[in-house]
Amino acid sequence: MLGLAQSTFEYALIQSQSPSPKPESDSLTTSQATALLDVAPHTVQKWVDAGVLRAWKTVGGHRRVAASSVQAMLRDRDAMQQATAVKKMSVMLVEDDADAAELLEVLIGRLWPHAQVRLARDGFSALLDAGKQPPDVLITDINLPGLDGVQMLRSLLLHPDTRQMRVVFVTHYAPAELQRFGTLPPGVPVLRKPIQIEDLWRALGGDYRTAVA
């Protein structure tokens, strides 16, 4: 999985750094991109907004999507499909902010198109859900209603079945402001919102394996 995840990450960086393509040589309408990727139009829009797909607007105000971005996504999707055929990775996302949760779902879908994503809105629900069915990856906000993310993770780490999860904290708070939540569990990366795809990739090590030997 290291090679595939790295390929995905490097592709995203290349797309964000590449100059705008020439519309006459590398352009698709939103409808064409939607048809090729077999997703809803709003999904293509989310991917464009998140920088996953490269796009621009014509002088007349019409959106065009880079055909090379779509083709690269299709290639990555095929490769990931073959690599994850044995076991689909499960990801639990704990986030009470709808917009932040939506962006994270887009990023997760870009890095792992076939991951099974579960969403919890508060720490208590996440604690119960993860305890019953431990995910491979847990991405949680720190400031949650009721039980905060730090307390939730401390409880989960007491049980052998949930100690093997790969965990990432996300937050709006600066490092100094996090003191209000007490000492964070060691070794857990903390990402500041809004989350960037390359930061999430690095926080998970860039090689998260969906199958355990």
- Residues 68 and 134 grouped into a single domain: no
- Residues 68 and 102 grouped into a single domain: no
Helix or strand holding residue 69 (H, E): helix 67-83
The per-residue pLDDT for range 61-109, each reduced to its tens digit, is: 888 999 998 888 888 777 656 655 445 789 999 999 999 999 999 888 8
Residue 142 lies in a domain: yes
Q: Based on the structure, what is the number of domains in the chain?
A: 2
Residue 157 has pLDDT above 80, yes or no: yes
Place of tokens 């090590």: 205
- Residues 14 and 116 grouped into a single domain: no
Q: For 140, phi and psi rounded to 5 degrees?
A: -135, 140
Q: Which residue has the higher pLDDT, 79 or 148?
A: 148
- Residues 94 and 199 grouped into a single domain: yes
Residue 134 has pLDDT above 90, yes or no: yes
Task: Name the pairing type of β-strands 90-94 and 116-120.
Answer: parallel
| 170 within 8 A of 91, measured Cβ to Cβ | no
Residue 210 lies in a domain: no
- Residues 56 and 100 grouped into a single domain: no
- Residues 102 and 57 grouped into a single domain: no
- The parent domain of residue 57 ranges over 2-83
Rg value, the chain, Cα: 18
Residue 111 lies in a domain: yes
Residue 213 lies in a domain: no
Average pLDDT, the chain: 81
- Residues 37 and 108 grouped into a single domain: no
The torsion defined by the Cα of 187, 212, 110 and 6, in degrees rounded to 10, comes to 70
Residue 209 lies in a domain: no
Centre a 10 Å sphere on the Cβ of residue 92 and count the other Cβ atoms it contains: 22
- The pTM of this model reads 0.60
- Residues 111 and 24 grouped into a single domain: no
pLDDT for the residue 127: 94
Residue 14 lies in a domain: yes
